[in-house]
Structure 1
Amino acid sequence: MFDTKTVSIEWGGKTLTLETGRIARQADGAVLATYGETVVLCAVTAAKNVKEGQDFFPLTVHYQEKFSAAGRIPGGFFKRERGATEKETLTSRLIDRPIRPLFPEGFYNEINVICQVLSFDGETEADMVAMIAASAALTISGVPFMGPIGGCRVGYIDGEYVLNPKQDKALEDGRLDLVVAATHDAVMMVESEAKELTEEEMLGAVAFAHDEIRKVIGAIIDLAEQGAKDPWQIDKVDGKAALLEELRGVIGEDLAAAYKLTNKSERQAAVNDARTKAREHFSGLAESDPAGYMGRLKLVKTLEGDIVRKAILKDGTRIDGRKLDQVRPIESMVGFLPRAHGSALFTRGETQAICTTTLGTKDSEQMIDGLEGLSYSNFMLHYNFPPYSVGEVGRFGAPGRREIGHGKLAWRALHPVLPSKEDFPYTIRILSDITESNGSSSMATICGGCLSMMDAGVPIERPVSGIAMGLILEGNDFAVLSDILGDEDHLGDMDFKVAGTENGITTMQMDIKVAGITQEIMGKALEQAKAGRQHILGEMQKALGSARNELSAHAPRIETMQIDKAKIRDVIGTGGKVIREIVAETGAKVDIDDEGLIKISSSDVSQIEAARKWIAGITEEAEVGKVYDGKVVNIVDFGAFVNFMGGKDGLVHVSEMKNERVEKPTDVVSEGQEVKVKVLEIDQRGKVRLSMRVVDQETGEELEDTRPPREPREPRSGGDRGDRGDRGPRGGGDRRGPRGNRDRKDDRGGRRDGPSAGGGDDHMPAFLKDD
């Protein structure tokens, strides 16, 4: 029934299997990719006709993770997969970026690439399996795809490159999490987070990945040889060169003059005038030859690129007059928003970002629900790109795929230099609002975000800067551009972004618009980017060279304390009663983890100190001879019970209230009164005997004990009491006998018919009585 085609290879210690012909047979191409026990289905469908008037390539990639793949039920009210998560959006972009340049120019048929994770083994990351499945499905579909491509993840652990490590382990155990996509001959895309790797180490990782990718490409070709559909017949556009020269004669000089204007607004106005001139010149064809009319207008962008690219390659002249390796003027300022915990305004040429850093407690951590289960992140970076930043009218609202991707790139750049949770127990959120844009607002976000963190007092290891590199490639001739403009990005062949500290690279991202680049070009771009990053770091240090020593007055304070795990239940209390009482009484937030690490947070330092003392009183043991602050909680005939250390009670006997005689405890203390007490004794049962008389109640200093020591009592006389005879039944008779009404005097002369004003022993707790 099924005409199934299958190819398998051993790759990175696991079997990679690609299968087609059994599932999703009505799609133009469908591949089931299995790696380990992770399974991804990718189906490709393409429209057979182009919509009328369409002049762009409508490729859409969707990556979706099914919770059932990991044996989980989605959280939330609806209990089903909803809109794309951040990870799904980023993976969709990851697959889209390397395959988009591999479709021929002028191909405008709509294509859907849908990747669904059907099984996840908890070890094999699904994103790379999805990329391979998408490439294979496109290759066998018959659409004009100039692939295949392959993709893999690379780690750098103990000085060795590792193929396809688990994503969360790549940086936990090593120094690199790198994703590479490539054709057999050239690298198409790079995405990474690194712990300050050198340029040589990053190049080595890319080369290692490319070698491994070639094995996957071979498997895809084997599958295509078995089950590929007939290739589509694409109409070739004849006479393009002649039409381009015709257009050059009409507006070539106008465009050349426009691209010599250094101001973006003036340049755009001049380019728009040239486009209007072209429309007017060819308006006669609009009715007689609509296809010819539209074809000529579409070539305006091609002519713009041709003019700009030749000027750069021939004369080394950039649009704004800079040298190839020159960075635009930079101005930075910090602390300009009075209520923000940290703020920075970073301006580079005509690109500008307002970045703020907000510090929060553990309650503010982001909860992430994915195939791996629930996890929490204490570092967030959100990027916004309003339409006014480029002088346009457009949609303003929830972030799109591009904004999510740019924010994650900046996140990767700054994440490696953050302090540990133990050293800085705050949740950190950076917000970047782009207020002007003409080239690499994501790199401005990195620079501004770093400055805002330092302004907020986040003790990062070292400052981070970022730069965007461009490429003009014509045959064997190429030019690498530092700090590219928006037009250089649109008309060039590469968008290569590098960020890092003075010690090394923390992130690298590369997207190519041609069929890949060589290691020679990448090496040149990395070398030039290093010099640019160092220059930008120097400019940033003019505003702020290192993190501030103090947090903002408006930021919450967090103190940590470690307690014995056995004491956790005492701090929490039954049903959380104790910890709720601490929070309610002190006003501070208290978080405790399973290891006994407690975080106490508040914007009021006194609230933190009150909660800390309370918890210390619960968990710490009282010390004999030490003075404590306490509060009278109960008064009895023979003294007062005092609560001290927050969670402990002890007795101040009436005889320990003052050096002189005290008739009644209420003559000295009252309930709720704050007192200072010294621990005299802790018995085997944990009962505590306290004293007020040996402590100065004003200063808390210990006083000299002037009371003479009590003489030890002699043993009672009488010796052996001998045989006491028959005492009669216990249930009847007058048992008072010779003791009468028991109103006798003891050997010290005190009466024992009630609480003794002189400090008798009968109404004292047993542990306080003299031996």
Structure 2
Amino acid sequence: MFNINTVEVDLGGKTLKLETGRIARQADGAVLATMGETVVLCAVTAAKSVKPGQDFFPLTVHYQEKFSAAGRIPGGFFKRERGATEKETLTSRLIDRPIRPLFPEGFYNEVLVIAQVLSYDGENEPDMVAMCAASAALTISGVPFMGPIGAARVGYVGGEYVLNPTNEQVKEGDLDLVVAATGGAVMMVESEAKELSEEVMLGAVVFAHEACKKVVNAICDLAEKAAKEPWDLKQADDKAATKAKLKDLIGADIAAAYKVTAKGERSDLINAARAKAKEAFADAEPQEQLVAAKLVKVLEADIVRNAILDEGRRIDGRNTTTVRPIEAMVGFLPRTHGSALFTRGETQAICTTTLGTKDAEQMIDGLEGLSYQRFMLHYNFPPYSVGEVGRFGAPGRREVGHGKLAWRALHPVLPTTEEFPYTIRVLSDITESNGSSSMATVCGGSLSMMDAGVPLARPVAGIAMGLILEGEKFAVISDILGDEDHLGDMDFKVAGTDQGITTMQMDIKVAGITKEIMQVALAQAKEGRAHILGEMAKALDSTRGELSAHAPRIETMQIPKDKIREVIGTGGKVIREIVATTGAKVDIDDEGLIKISSSDVKQIEAARAWIQGITQEPEPGTIYTGKVASIVDFGAFVTFMPGKDGLVHVSEIKNERVENVRDILTEGQEVKVKLLEVDNRGKVRLSMRVVDQETGAELEDTRPPREPREGGDRGPRGDRGPREGGRGGDRHREGRGPRRDGGDRGPRGEGRGDRGPRREGGNRDDNGPAPEFAPAFLTGGNNDDD
């Protein structure tokens, strides 16, 4: 029933399997790709005709992760996959970028590529598998696709390249690089690195390309078994005559326009030339008008490219290595935690940094489960930045991609959570754009974080490189303009510090570039990056020593794990009370690391002191400041540490006799006490009289020691003899007789036995010896048992 064809290829000790013929047989091409237990299905369909008047190639790529692939149910109310997540958007772009240039010029049929993750093992990332599946599906579909391409991920661990590393190896290593390439040349590079050298980065690209070649060969083997008949392409009409007519008509106008350095004035001149060409072909057939409009753009590209290749002269008059003038400002906005205005030529970005607490982290619900991101970078590109009227709303794929590129550039130099326990958000608003606004975001974002006091390892700068390639002749150009991006063959962005590269992204519009071109581009980018870092240093060369006055303060403290429960309390009662009383936010993790945050330092100190009081043990001899919790006849109970009370006996309030405790103390009164003793039952004895209540200093104990009683210790009480005014009757255990007949109580010793010595000089309170002015019941007075 099924005509199933499969191929397999070994990639770094793992097997990539490509299968077709079993699933989605009505699609033009469908491939099931498997690596480990990660499975991705990619299906390709293409429209059989072109819409009238269409003059562009409508390629759409959708990548989707099914939560069932990881055995999870989606969060949220609807419990099903909704709009594309950031990762899905980025992976869709990752697939789109290398395949788009491989469709032939003039092919305008709509093509839809859908890649769905059906199984995920938590080890083999599905993005690279999806890229290989998309390439294979296009190759066997019959659609005119000048592939295939292969894809590979490379890590750098312990000075060695690792092909298709696990997630753990990527985290432990210094590089996460994805390469897509044909058998002959690299098509796309996406990476994040920990300040690696140009040589190491280039070596990683070459290493990945070798793996891509294996995938390409495997896809070719699959196509030999299962490819459909290729589509017949309509032969392109000879456009030489039309192109020559246009060159005579507006060639000089376009050449003059591209010598004007101001973007606005240049655009007006080019639009005038286009209008002139449109008028000349006003009476032609609609299809011929479309052809003429396309040829105008070709003519523009020829003029710009030849000027660069032949004369080394660019649109704005620069040579191939010069970077446009740079102006950087920090502290640009008064109420933000950190801000910077970065301008390079006609590209400008306002970047702001906001610092927050742990509860401001971004929660991400993906195949790996719930995770939290403490660093966010959001990029906005409003229409006015290019002087246009357009849609202004939610970020599109371009905004998401540019923001993630800048995120990758800055992420490697961020401090660890232990060094800087803040959530960080960088916002980049592009206010002018004429080339490489994503790299302006890198520069401005770095400056704004330094302005906010984020201790970056080093400042980061970025630069965009372009390429003009004609046969064997090429020119690499630094800091490209928007028109040079559109009319050139490569967009190669490199960001990093003075120590090395943190990110590298490359997209090309031709059939690939060679190792030689990449070497030139990397060397030229290094020089440009160093120049930009020097210009940035004029505004701010290092992180500010203090946070903004408007930023929250976060302090950390470590407590023993066995004290976590005490700090949280039953049902969170204690920690909620700390937050409500002090006003500070308190977060505690499973390891006992506590983060206390507030814009008011006093609130932080109050919360810290409270927690210390809960977790610390009372130390005898230490002086504490406490509050009177309650008053009793024989003294006062004082809360001297959170959750810990002790007794200040009436004899320890003052050196002189205290008749009534309430004459001296009131509930809620703040007092200073010295901890005298913690007995084996945990009862605490405190003293006020040995502490200066004004300064908290310890005083010398000037009260004379109590003289011993006559006869020394009281010894056994024995027979107490008749009691004056006694209750009557003997109180013997063996038949006590009536108690209130007016008789004597009788000797206690005979009935109750010898009680032995009472406490030496003691009283009935367990908290200390009885003073000279102790109550009567401790000094031989009435001792009723009632």
Matching of residue 628 in structure 1 with residue 624 in structure 2:
yes
Is 1:210 matched up with 2:209? yes
Identity of aligned residues (%): 75
Partner of 1:231: 230
Do the aligned residues in 1 keep the contact of 2:762 with 2:778 (CA within 8 Å)? no
**Match runs of 1:3-152 below 5 Å:** 3-152=3-152
SS in 2 for 1:471: strand
Pairwise CA distance, 1:687:
2.1
Given the superposition, is the C-alpha separation of residues 727 and 66 from structure 1 closer, same or farther in structure 2, using an over 3 Å criterion? same
1:594 shift after superposition: 0.3
Q: Tell me the residue number matched to 2:334.
A: 338
CA deviation map 1:676-704 (0-9, x unaligned): 11111122232221111111111111122
1:404-415 alignment runs, 5 A limit = 404-415=400-411
SS in 2 for 1:738: coil
Partner deviation per Cα, 1:528-563 (whole Å, 9 max, x = no partner):
000111110111111111111111111111111000
TM-score, length of structure 2 as denominator length? 0.93
C-alpha distance in structure 2 between counterparts of 1:730 and 1:469, whole Å: 112
Is the alpha carbon distance of 1:238 and 1:707 closer, same or farther for their aligned partners in structure 2, counting shifts above 3 Å? same
8 Å Cα contact 1:171-1:194 kept in structure 2: no
Counterpart of 2:499 (choices 481, 503, 506) is 503
Query: Within 1, Cα distance between the matches of 2:573 and 2:643?
Result: 13
* 8 Å CA contact 1:750, 1:760 repeated in 2: no
Whole-angstrom distance in 2 between the partners of 1:712 and 1:594? 56
In structure 1, the residue matched to 2:773 is: 758
What letter corresponds to residue 230 of structure 1 in structure 2?
E
Q: 2:666 aligns with which of 663, 670, 692?
A: 670
After superposition, the Cα gap between the structure-2 partners of 1:494 and 1:728, relative to the gap in structure 1 and judged at 3 Å, is same
User: 1:728 corresponds to which residue?
Assistant: 733
When residues 324 and 730 of structure 1 are mapped into structure 2, their CA distance, relative to the original with a 3 A threshold, is farther
Superposed displacement of residue 237, structure 1: 1.2
The residue matched to 2:228 in structure 1 has which SS?
A: coil
Give the Cα separation in 2 of the matches to 1:748 and 1:621: 29
Structure 1 unaligned residues grouped into runs of 5+: 765-771
Say which SS state the counterpart of residue 717 (structure 1) adopts. coil
Alignment partners' CA distance in 2, 1:418 and 1:185: 37
Contact 1:62 1:113 in 2 (8 A): yes
Who is 2:318 aligned against?
A: 322
Question: How far apart in 2 are the matches of 1:718 and 1:270?
Answer: 119
Aligned residues: 753
Of 540, 557, 563, 1:561 maps to: 557
Distance 2:368 2:760 in 1: 77
Q: Could you tell me how far apart the structure 2 residues matched to 1:697 and 1:668 are? A: 13
2:727 is matched with none
Amino acid in structure 2 at the alignment position of 1:199: E
* Equivalent pair of 1:153/1:179 in contact (CA under 8 Å): yes
Maintained 8 Å contact 1:664/1:757:
no
Match for residue 164 of structure 1?
164
Correspondence for 1:737: 745
User: Which of these two proteins has the greater Rg computed from alpha carbons?
Assistant: 2
- Contact 1:638-1:763 at 8 Å conserved across structures: no
2:247: which partner in 1?
A: 248
Pairwise CA distance, 1:730: 8.2
Q: Which amino acid aligns with 1:253?
A: A
Using the alignment, how far apart are the partners of 2:132 and 2:109 within structure 1? 22
Match of 1:308 among 304, 312, 329: 304
2:416 maps to 1:401: no
The 1:135–1:749 alpha-carbon spacing in structure 2 relative to 1, beyond 3 Å, is closer
Identify which of 705, 724, 737 aligns with 1:709: 705
Cα distance in structure 2, aligned partners of 1:497 and 1:184: 23
Q: Report deviation, 1:729.
A: 5.1
Secondary structure of 2:654 counterpart: coil
Alpha-carbon spacing, 1:763–1:22, altered in 2? closer, same or farther (3 Å): farther
Q: CA deviation at 1:648?
A: 1.7
Q: Which amino acid aligns with 2:244?
A: E
Q: Does 1:601 align with 2:616?
A: no
Structure 1 partner of 2:187: 188
In 1, Cα distance between the equivalents of 2:181 and 2:219? 13
Instruction: Output aligned runs, 1:254-403, within 5 Å.
Output: 254-285=253-284, 289-403=285-399
Task: State the distance in 1 between where 2:739 and 2:166 align.
Answer: 87
Is residue 446 of structure 2 the alignment partner of residue 460 of structure 1? no
Instruction: Tell me the CA shift for residue 731 of structure 1.
Output: 9.2
Work out the CA distance in 2 between the residues paired with 1:130 and 1:647: 58
Answer yes or no: is 1:416 the counterpart of 2:432: no
Alignment match, 1:767:
none
Distance 2:177 2:366 in 1: 21
* 8 Å contact from structure 1 (residues 344, 452) kept in 2: yes
* 1:575-624 per-position Cα deviation (integer Å, ceiling 9, x unaligned): 01111111111111110000000011111111111111111000011221
Is the Cα–Cα contact under 8 Å of residues 325 and 532 in structure 1 kept in the other structure? yes
| Structure 2 counterpart of 1:707, one-letter code | R
1:668: Cα distance to partner?
A: 1.7
Q: SS at 2:162's partner residue?
A: strand
CA separation in 1, counterparts of 2:761 and 2:112?
A: 104
Q: CA deviation at 1:152?
A: 1.2
2:763–2:778 Cα contact (<8 Å) kept: no
Displacement, 1:763? 9.3
CA distance in 2, matches of 1:221, 1:475: 26
Q: Is the CA contact (8 Å cut-off) linking 1:654 and 1:759 kept in structure 2?
A: no
- Say if 2:690 and 2:698, in contact at 8 Å, map to a contact too: yes
Please report how far the alpha carbon of residue 240 of structure 1 lies from its aligned counterpart in structure 2 after TM superposition.
2.4
Contact in 2 for aligned 1:470/1:493 (Cα 8 Å): yes
DSSP-derived class of the 2:637 partner: strand
The change in CA–CA distance for 1:319 and 1:699 in structure 2 (over 3 A counts) is: same
Q: In structure 2, what is the Cα distance between the partners aligned to 1:732 and 1:522?
A: 114
Relative distance call for 1:728 and 1:353 in structure 2 (3 A) is same
Amino acid at match of 1:137: A
* TM-aligned CA distance change 1:399 to 1:657, over 3 Å: same
1:179 maps to which residue?
178
User: C-alpha displacement at 1:732, in angstroms?
Assistant: 7.4
- SS for the counterpart of 1:262 is coil
Judging changes above 3 Å, is the alpha-carbon distance between structure 1 residues 710 and 481 closer, same or farther for their aligned structure 2 residues? Answer: farther
Instruction: Decide whether the 8 Å contact of 1:170 with 1:177 is kept in 2.
Output: no
Contact 1:752 1:760 (8 Å CA) reproduced? no
Alignment partner of 2:746: what SS? helix
Cα distance 1:132–1:728, how it changes in 2: closer, same or farther (>3 A)?
same
Distance 1:323 1:640 in 2: 86
Give the TM-score, by structure 1 length: 0.95
Residues 715-765 of structure 1, C-alpha deviations (whole Å, 9 max, x = no match): 3334999xxx9943589754983379x9xxx99999999x9993459799x
Give the conservation status (yes or no) of the 8 Å contact 2:731–2:739: no
Match of 1:619 in 2: 615
Structure 1 residue aligned with 2:639 = 643
Equivalents in 1 of 2:392, 2:704: separation in Å? Answer: 84
User: What letter corresponds to residue 216 of structure 1 in structure 2?
Assistant: V
**CA deviation map 1:463-518 (0-9, x unaligned):** 00000000000011111111000000000000000000110000000001101101
Which region of structure 1 is more displaced relative to structure 2, 648-657 or 575-584?
648-657
Partner Cα distance (1:430, 1:761) in 2? 75
Unaligned stretches of 5+ residues in structure 2: 720-729, 753-757, 780-786
Q: Structure 1 residues 47, 504: CA separation in 2 closer, same or farther (over 3 Å shift)?
A: same
**Amino acid of the structure 2 residue aligned with 1:31:** V
Q: CA offset at residue 636 of structure 1?
A: 1.2
**Residue by residue, what CA displacement relative to the aligned partner does 1:160-218 show, whole Å, maximum 9, x if unpaired?**
00011134x34421100111110000000000110000000000100110011111111
2:731, 2:745 within 8 Å by CA — same for their partners in 1?
no
Q: Does the Cα contact within 8 Å between 2:630 and 2:667 map onto a contact in 1?
A: yes
Distance 1:655 1:136, change over 3 A: same
State how 1:523-562 maps to structure 2 within 5 Å: 523-562=519-558
The whole-number CA distance in structure 1 between the counterparts of 2:592 and 2:188 is: 45
Within 2, Cα distance between the matches of 1:213 and 1:697? 80
